[in-house]
Amino acid sequence: MTNFVNFEGGNYQMRRFLLLASALSVIFSLWNPGVSIAKENPASDFTLPDVNGKKISLSEFKGKVVILNFWATWCGPCRAEMPSLNKLYLEFKDKGLAVIAVSVDTSEKPVKSFIKKHNLSFPVLMDKNKAVSFDEYGVLGLPTTFIIYKNGFIAEKIIGEREWNSPRIKEKIIRLLRGGK
């Protein structure tokens, strides 16, 4: 019988697996930084609580371009990209961009602390049992981000850290907000 060690309320072996998967996705994205997987499938709707327990559904954002980011506070690349993601959101939120961050942390406490420290303005949802991130969206490494068209279909799956406030990404967001691909 395997003895599991709890680490901040979570399964140590699962954290090791996720850390390894995140490292591999970062290595892969550094090897081929332009990697993104185009998808033309509908984004699975879900409802998760935010860090304060309020239930939020993906379907509430239909009609907007959505950046759906799966992350964790213990993931270095995830933490590194959050400030630029927040800047992008603040620049385009009034033009139809929504950002939803889904944390796979097992406790709200470190997530709330991170949100406060970095003054994040977009909703941060909790997926403690990973039912949405791993089961619905097949996320194997963090960060993983899906860009979703206004019609609810997935435009792109991006694996690994990005500079979300870069001119290239801003151009893409502007194009998507105008209804292009």
What DSSP designation does 60 have? G
What kind and span of H or E run contains 118?
helix 108-118
Domain positions in the chain: 9-43+62-177
Q: How confident is the model at residue 35 (pLDDT cuts 50, 70, 90)?
A: very low
Q: Which residues contact 18 (CB under 8 A, 6 or more apart)?
A: 72, 75, 104, 141, 142
Give per-residue pLDDT as tens, 17-34.
555 555 555 554 444 343
CATH of domain 9-43+62-177: 3.40.30.10
C-alpha 53/C-alpha 149 separation (Å) is 27
Give per-residue pLDDT as tens, 59-107.
999 999 999 999 999 999 999 999 999 999 999 999 999 999 999 999 9
